[in-house]
């Protein structure tokens, strides 16, 4: 009730005209005043040949359309909504020109929706855009989706290795083929637009998006960017160009996404103009020459100025100097971070050169405020017309005005192509070519298949881990084996070949074998993540706390040779694991074709090598965990394994023992959780507040408030004292206090939840409970969660999530949370807590208003 009222108030605050932008700016101090060193001289940037000569007939059609469109219709073309927040009816009414499906948005809100549902929704949106019954012009809608490593939002699609793995292949022809297949599979579900390729040149491997980049080397990125765009779109000028078997590409994220200080996602890129141009823009030159139809603006800033508001780079450089003739699309509410803007109001971004704002959940406000800006002249009609022209030209190049609905196009509904055998064969080849061999002591590899093989490690039979982020869900979390009908785990591939050759294979994730093996393959690695959720403080693998090292050592102690296969989105410091294992393979995030690993690790039945290692590092491998920005070509370059390293079977693979000094203090390694195994993490304090209001900070595993109303004890989970149990006999609250305020703007924008891993043993007698956050003096937000708690299974551990947007709607300033979590309830309640963290992985959620 209270939440709903506050939500209303928040809606009313939503600015609808130019005047309100200043208030919004006060709420979102995301951008600093631009620094002087961020000056740009377009004349020093490369000139590119845009491959489309002026098409007089198309220009005539654009002119004609434009002349007949109302201002409302024009504005509809430059605002893009997300399918989680817009309906076909909205498109019919507002005449929007485009929708997207974000990583976490799916038909019916189900991440595993069937391909048929995607296609039906594509038809419904298209039909709405073509429906002129309420007046207005029929302008076909385009649907953009993150088909980042295959059509990776759709169950059954072929999942290619993430870009970091493709970088290791050094094979542009293969990349072309992957792009071509991705386009085909994307068309089956009705979309004609992918937000790919990412041509970031990541310079700091702590960045959570490192794996989306092909390489730290601009030349390597450039060698892929153009061919990938051509594979997606077809060759400009040919008949196949943007036909029904191809999709339009958006090259992203322009510009400097891989160069932010500290490797911070959405951060500030403070490099020189020359580095911005020669390193970070390298991929755009061939991509524009190949005719990329869209470029996506980046979240990052250049010397304090957000790219979504950067006129010199978006307009003077990209459009004028580099002759980019497609349109510039924004990133997910990226415009809202420009100084003076909010998610629902930002003329500045269009004036700087953006042509289509990605306003996922904010499209209506954005539409209305943009309309007001055009009427007021704060967004000149000329600029609006130019943006619309660019979008219409793309639609004409795709021949969309002449096309039937998505399901009636050449590949619409051809779902047998999703995960088709010939597509999977290409993905499997990509896996083989992406594997990088770092150590092969005594030539233990390749293994004979006629052996007793143990396959261990939690990555061995784990498609989610193998595929990484941007797979069915945004973070790639929360999936099950059934979600991957057309896929083989690494275990599947090894078992099949070993058994076919007369050997025996056993899977034991924890290494506890039944049959004593001749050799073990241990597959382990990072949990899936996407964007800022994957940012790290250093390159320690899981902060040095994973159990994988013990697993490898235990097998070695048993006298069993170990081949380690590491799944990750970046090189990490693993010297201890590398020392402990006999062979070490960097497998990146291979995707659906785990069988490609067996193809390389195992000999064939005749004892011959099936496939030798081909992969070469496209990112330098660190000697210490503090070498996160050690890139080849730099002074003081001192990696453990240099850019380009990768053994083959012909090489001597012996490696002298490596130093096990990480170079960082593992204790200081922060995780992104606030409360872990019953203990507040570094920088946070656990506080108990009694029913009388008296507060006490807790340091011991057991505590009781002075008034006796709230008592805490340590309890065991799968680990000793892995949680804290709280018992209320009066009112009172459990609070997590942050020593310095936490800025959760990005998390809030990205639909992240506050997730508590908890066990409800008894409900409060009066049924009342609240989740509270604090944001400084006189700033807090409170959500009733009594009903949500009552619905949880009692006596069982579960994960309950509250969307950060709900807390913002309830009045929290998410940019400065000094109490990111508090649970207040009353007599009778008994609740245990083991972990609290910002996350997208939960089993139950609190229903609340997000706006
Ligand atoms: C990401 C983009 C992505 C977009 C749509 C953003 O947050 O930065 O890479 O294309 O969302 O999902
Ligand atoms: C969306 C992603 C997007 C992210 C932005 C998520 O909720 O699903 O597509 O990239 O937010 O941070």
**Residue, of 32 and 836, whose pLDDT is higher:** 836
d(CA 775, CA 15): 23
Counting atoms of ligand 1 from 1, which one is nearest the CA of 253? Answer: 9
703-704 and 710-715 strand pairing: antiparallel
* In the chain, % of residues over pLDDT 70: 95
Write out pLDDT tens, residues 802-832: 999 999 999 999 999 999 999 999 999 999 9
Counting atoms of ligand 2 from 1, which one is nearest the CA of 84? Answer: 8
Q: What pLDDT was estimated at residue 670?
A: 58
Q: Which helix (H) or strand (E) is 422 found in, with range?
A: helix 421-434
Write out pLDDT tens, residues 721-742: 889 999 999 999 999 999 889 9
Q: With bands split at pLDDT 50, 70 and 90, how would you rate the model's confidence at 18?
A: very low
Q: What pLDDT was estimated at residue 699?
A: 82
- In the chain, DSSP finds a helix count (H) and a strand count (E) of 24, 32
| 208 within ligand 2 shell (Cβ under 6 A) | no
Residue closest via CA to ligand 1's atom 6 equals 332
Counting atoms of ligand 1 from 1, which one is nearest the CA of 198? Answer: 9
741 CA to middle of ligand 2, Å? 24
Reduced to 3 states (helix: H, G, I; strand: E, B; else coil), residue 803 is strand
DSSP-derived secondary structure for 496-532: HHHHHTT-EEEE-TTS--SSPPSEEEEEEEPPP--GG
Q: What pLDDT was estimated at residue 683?
A: 87
Handedness of CA 172, 174, 177, 183 (dihedral sign): negative
62 CA to middle of ligand 1, Å? 29
Judged against a pLDDT cut of 90, whether residue 10 lies above it is answered with no
**Which of 266, 331, 333, 334 to probe ligand 1 with, by most ligand atoms within 8 A of CB?**
331
Ligand nearest to the CA of residue 751, numbered in listed order: 2
27 CA to middle of ligand 2, Å? 21
Ligand nearest to the CA of residue 752, numbered in listed order: 2
* In the chain, % of residues over pLDDT 90: 90
Residue closest via CA to ligand 2's atom 4 equals 750
399 CA to middle of ligand 2, Å? 30
Q: What pLDDT was estimated at residue 22?
A: 36
Q: With bands split at pLDDT 50, 70 and 90, how would you rate the model's confidence at 719?
A: confident
| 474 within ligand 2 shell (Cβ under 6 A) | yes
Ligand nearest to the CA of residue 473, numbered in listed order: 2
Q: What pLDDT was estimated at residue 110?
A: 96
Ligand nearest to the CA of residue 358, numbered in listed order: 1
d(CA 726, CA 711): 6
pTM for the predicted model, two decimal places: 0.90
Counting atoms of ligand 2 from 1, which one is nearest the CA of 749? Answer: 12
172 CA to middle of ligand 1, Å? 25
**Residue, of 850 and 173, whose pLDDT is higher:** 173
183 CA to middle of ligand 1, Å? 18
Judged against a pLDDT cut of 70, whether residue 668 lies above it is answered with no
How many degrees, rounded to 5, is the angle at CA 51 between CA 49 and CA 54?
105
Judged against a pLDDT cut of 50, whether residue 566 lies above it is answered with yes
Q: Which one, of 665, 641, 634, 670, lies nearest residue 203 by Cα?
A: 634
Counting atoms of ligand 2 from 1, which one is nearest the CA of 146? Answer: 9
The gap from C-alpha 7 to its chain's centroid, in whole angstroms, comes to 28
Q: What pLDDT was estimated at residue 598?
A: 98
Neighbouring CB atoms inside 10 A of 62's CB total 20
For 822, half-sphere exposure in the C-beta direction (CA atoms, 13 angstrom radius) is 24
85 CA to middle of ligand 2, Å? 13
Domains of the chain (ranges plus CATH)?
2-20+50-416 (3.20.20.300), 435-667 (3.40.50.1700), 670-845 (2.60.120.430)
d(CA 259, CA 687): 39
- Indicate if 106 belongs to the active site: no
**What are 515's two structure tokens?**
């049959």
Reduced to 3 states (helix: H, G, I; strand: E, B; else coil), residue 242 is coil
From the list 106, 192, 205, 331, the catalytic residue is 331
| 332 within ligand 2 shell (Cβ under 6 A) | yes
Q: What pLDDT was estimated at residue 831?
A: 97
d(CA 294, CA 307): 16
Residue closest via CA to ligand 1's atom 2 equals 331
Q: What pLDDT was estimated at residue 387?
A: 99
Q: What pLDDT was estimated at residue 544?
A: 72
Are 5 and 12 a contacting pair, CB within 8 Å?
Answer: no
Write out pLDDT tens, residues 54-73: 999 999 999 999 999 999 99
732-738 and 684-690 strand pairing: antiparallel
Q: What pLDDT was estimated at residue 625?
A: 96
Counting atoms of ligand 2 from 1, which one is nearest the CA of 105? Answer: 8
| 258 within ligand 2 shell (Cβ under 6 A) | no
d(CA 198, CA 810): 36
**Which of 213, 332, 334, 358 to probe ligand 1 with, by most ligand atoms within 8 A of CB?**
332
Long-range CB contact pairs, 126-131, < 8 A, 24+: 126/190, 126/405, 126/406, 127/88, 127/405, 128/88, 128/89, 128/91, 128/92, 129/91, 129/92, 129/95, 129/96, 129/97, 131/92
Residues 6+ apart with CB under 8 A from 382: none
Q: What pLDDT was estimated at residue 545?
A: 74
Judged against a pLDDT cut of 90, whether residue 505 lies above it is answered with yes
332 CA to middle of ligand 1, Å? 6
Q: With bands split at pLDDT 50, 70 and 90, how would you rate the model's confidence at 144?
A: very high
From the list 488, 531, 593, 813, the catalytic residue is 531
Q: What pLDDT was estimated at residue 850?
A: 83
The gap from C-alpha 166 to its chain's centroid, in whole angstroms, comes to 17
Q: Which helix (H) or strand (E) is 168 found in, with range?
A: helix 163-169
For residue 639, what are the β-bridge partners?
none
Provide the H-helix boundaries in 655-705.
none
817 CA to middle of ligand 1, Å? 25
Counting atoms of ligand 2 from 1, which one is nearest the CA of 102? Answer: 9
d(CA 750, CA 333): 9
Judged against a pLDDT cut of 50, whether residue 705 lies above it is answered with yes
| 531 within ligand 2 shell (Cβ under 6 A) | yes
For ligand 1, residues with CB inside 6 Å are: 100, 102-103, 146, 195, 252, 331-332, 531
Residue closest via CA to ligand 2's atom 12 equals 750
First to last CA, the chain: 14
**Which of 99, 101, 104 to probe ligand 2 with, by most ligand atoms within 8 A of CB?**
104
Residue closest via CA to ligand 2's atom 6 equals 750
Ligand nearest to the CA of residue 747, numbered in listed order: 2
Mean pLDDT value of segment 555-575: 98
Q: What pLDDT was estimated at residue 669?
A: 56
d(CA 626, CA 635): 16
Ligand nearest to the CA of residue 195, numbered in listed order: 1
d(CA 659, CA 550): 18
- Indicate if 818 belongs to the active site: no
103 CA to middle of ligand 2, Å? 6
Write out pLDDT tens, residues 440-473: 999 999 999 999 999 999 999 999 999 999 999 9
Mean residue pLDDT across the chain: 94
């Amino acid at each position: 009730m209270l939440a709903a009222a506050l939500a209303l108030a928040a809606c009313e605050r939503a600015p609808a005209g130019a005047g309100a932008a200043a208030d919004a700016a006060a709420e979102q101090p995301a951008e600093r005043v631009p620094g002087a060193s961020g000056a740009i001289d377009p004349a020093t940037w490369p000139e590119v040949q845009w491959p489309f000569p002026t098409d007089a007939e198309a220009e005539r059609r654009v002119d004609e359309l434009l002349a007949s469109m109302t201002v409302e219709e024009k504005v509809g073309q430059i605002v893009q909504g997300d399918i989680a927040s817009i309906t076909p009816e909205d498109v019919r009414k507002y005449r929007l020109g485009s929708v997207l499906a974000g990583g976490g948005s799916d038909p019916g809100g189900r991440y595993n929706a069937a391909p048929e549902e995607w296609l039906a929704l594509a038809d419904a949106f298209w039909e709405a855009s073509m429906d002129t019954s309420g007046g207005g012009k029929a302008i076909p809608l385009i649907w953009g989706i993150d088909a980042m490593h295959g059509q990776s939002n759709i169950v059954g699609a072929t999942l290619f290795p993430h870009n970091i793995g493709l970088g290791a292949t050094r094979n542009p022809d293969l990349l072309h083929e992957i792009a071509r297949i991705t386009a085909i599979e994307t068309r089956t579900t009705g979309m004609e637009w992918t937000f790919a390729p990412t041509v970031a040149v990541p310079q700091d491997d702590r960045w959570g998006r490192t794996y989306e980049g092909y390489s730290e080397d601009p030349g390597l990125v450039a060698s892929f960017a153009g061919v990938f765009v051509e594979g997606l779109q077809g060759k400009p000028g040919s008949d196949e160009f943007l036909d029904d078997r191809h999709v339009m590409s958006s090259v992203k994220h322009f510009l400097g996404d891989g160069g932010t200080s500290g490797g911070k996602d959405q951060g500030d890129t403070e490099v020189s103009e020359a580095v911005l141009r020669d390193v970070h823009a390298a991929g755009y030159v061939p991509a524009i020459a190949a005719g990329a139809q869209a470029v996506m603006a980046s979240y990052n800033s250049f010397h304090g100025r957000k790219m979504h508001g950067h006129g010199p780079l978006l307009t003077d450089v990209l459009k004028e100097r580099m002759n980019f003739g497609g349109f510039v699309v924004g990133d997910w509410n990226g415009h809202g971070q420009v100084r003076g803007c909010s998610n629902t109001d930002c003329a500045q971004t269009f004036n700087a050169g953006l042509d289509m704002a990605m306003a996922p959940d904010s499209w209506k406000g954005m539409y209305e405020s943009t309309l007001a800006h055009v009427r007021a002249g704060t967004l000149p009609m000329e600029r609006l017309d130019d943006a619309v022209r660019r979008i219409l030209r793309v639609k004409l190049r795709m021949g969309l005005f002449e096309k039937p609905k998505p399901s009636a196009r050449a590949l619409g509904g051809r779902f047998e192509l999703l995960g088709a055998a010939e597509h999977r064969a290409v993905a499997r080849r990509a896996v083989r070519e992406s594997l990088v061999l770092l150590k092969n002591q005594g030539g233990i590899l390749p293994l004979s298949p006629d052996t007793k093989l143990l396959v261990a490690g939690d990555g061995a039979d784990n498609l989610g881990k193998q595929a990484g982020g941007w797979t069915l869900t945004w973070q790639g979390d929360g999936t099950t084996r059934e979600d991957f009908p057309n896929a083989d785990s690494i275990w599947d591939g090894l078992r099949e070949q070993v058994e076919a050759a007369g050997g025996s294979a056993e899977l034991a994730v924890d290494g506890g074998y039944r049959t004593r093996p001749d050799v073990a393959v241990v597959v382990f690695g990072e949990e899936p993540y996407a964007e800022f959720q994957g940012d790290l403080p250093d390159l320690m693998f899981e902060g040095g706390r994973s159990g994988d090292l013990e697993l490898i050592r235990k097998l070695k102690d048993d006298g069993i040779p170990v081949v380690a296969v590491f799944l990750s989105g970046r090189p990490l410091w693993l010297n201890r694991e590398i020392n402990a294992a006999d062979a070490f393979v960097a497998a990146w995030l291979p995707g659906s074709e785990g069988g490609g690993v067996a193809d390389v690790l195992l000999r064939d039945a005749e004892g011959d090598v099936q496939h030798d290692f081909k992969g070469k590092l496209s990112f330098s491998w660190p000697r210490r965990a503090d070498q996160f920005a050690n890139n080849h070509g730099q002074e003081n370059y001192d990696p453990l394994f240099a850019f380009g390293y990768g053994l083959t079977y012909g090489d001597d693979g012996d490696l002298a023992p490596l130093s096990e000094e990480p170079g960082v203090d593992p204790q200081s390694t922060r995780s992104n959780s606030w409360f872990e195994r019953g203990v507040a993490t570094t920088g946070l304090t656990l506080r108990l507040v009694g029913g009388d209001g008296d507060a006490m900070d807790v340091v011991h595993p057991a505590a009781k408030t002075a008034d006796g109303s709230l008592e805490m004890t340590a309890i065991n989970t799968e680990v000793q004292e892995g949680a804290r149990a709280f018992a209320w006999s009066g009112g009172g609250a459990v609070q997590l206090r942050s020593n310095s305020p936490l800025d959760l703007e990005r998390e809030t924008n990205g639909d992240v939840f506050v997730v508590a891993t908890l066990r409800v043993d008894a409900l409060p007698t009066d049924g009342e409970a609240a989740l509270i956050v604090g944001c400084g003096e006189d700033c807090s937000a409170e959500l009733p969660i009594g009903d949500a708690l009552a619905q949880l299974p009692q006596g069982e551990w579960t994960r309950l999530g509250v969307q950060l947007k709900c807390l913002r709607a309830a009045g929290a300033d998410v940019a400065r949370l000094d109490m990111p979590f508090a649970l207040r309830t009353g007599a009778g309640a008994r609740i245990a807590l083991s972990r609290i963290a910002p996350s997208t992985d939960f089993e139950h959620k609190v229903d609340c208003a997000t706006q």
